[in-house]
Amino acid sequence: MELLSVPIEGLVLFKPRLFFDDRGYFFESYQQLKLEQFGIKHPFVQDNQSRSKKGVVRGLHFQKPPYAQAKLVRVVHGEILDVAVDLRKESPTYGTYFAVHLSAENLLQFYIPEGFAHGFSALAEDTIVQYKCSSFYNKEAEGTIIYNDPTLNIDWKVDSPIVTLKDLEGEQFNNFKTPF
């Protein structure tokens, strides 16, 4: 696995090693010992998968402690702009975000630790995103920051976002009280 540089401490971006032959390719999409070398040491307990139309924006979601979740995100089909917003109040990058293109072609994987809000926009039709979570989902611990928050000013790279009512009712970042 090749570790790539990111500007926010705690986030990890990497590309798995691919093995090609005349049939196609093979790679380890998850290998605990290799991830531990990158500082990712907790077990994952839940796998999630979503399918989205081009233009869908999901997020910005997080789980409040003690149900906070770390996520390991990858794209099985299509392409997304994946976004992580730092919600850790003691962090020098609190309130900033990092965005990266993940696709079925580049095979990048993005680790987002606890203390971040997460969201993505689908940049291709029939985009399938798969992610591992370090904690089980808990509805009462769910939090959402509105995707188009003016303070965060995220460019989702879509012209007419398709967003659920739940995500449209997310908190404004300047009114948000972080639990992290």
pLDDT of 42 reads 83
The pTM assigned to this predicted structure is: 0.95
Specify whether 131 is catalytic: yes
Specify whether 42 is catalytic: no
Closest by CA to 99, choosing from 29, 11, 2, is: 11
* Rounded average pLDDT per 10-residue block, the chain, 180 residues: 93 93 92 90 94 98 98 98 98 98 97 98 98 97 97 97 97 96
Catalytic residue among 97, 111, 118, 131: 131
Q: How many CA atoms lie within 13 A of 136 on its CB side?
A: 2
DSSP string covering 121-143, please? EE-STTEEEEEEESS---GGGEE
Structural contact between residues 136 and 162, judged by C-beta atoms closer than 8 angstroms: no
pLDDT of 24 reads 92
pLDDT of 1 reads 86
CATH superfamily, domain at 43-175: Jelly Rolls (2.60.120.10)
Where do the structural domains in the chain lie, given as residue ranges?
43-175
Antiparallel, parallel or unpaired: β 97-103 and 57-63: unpaired
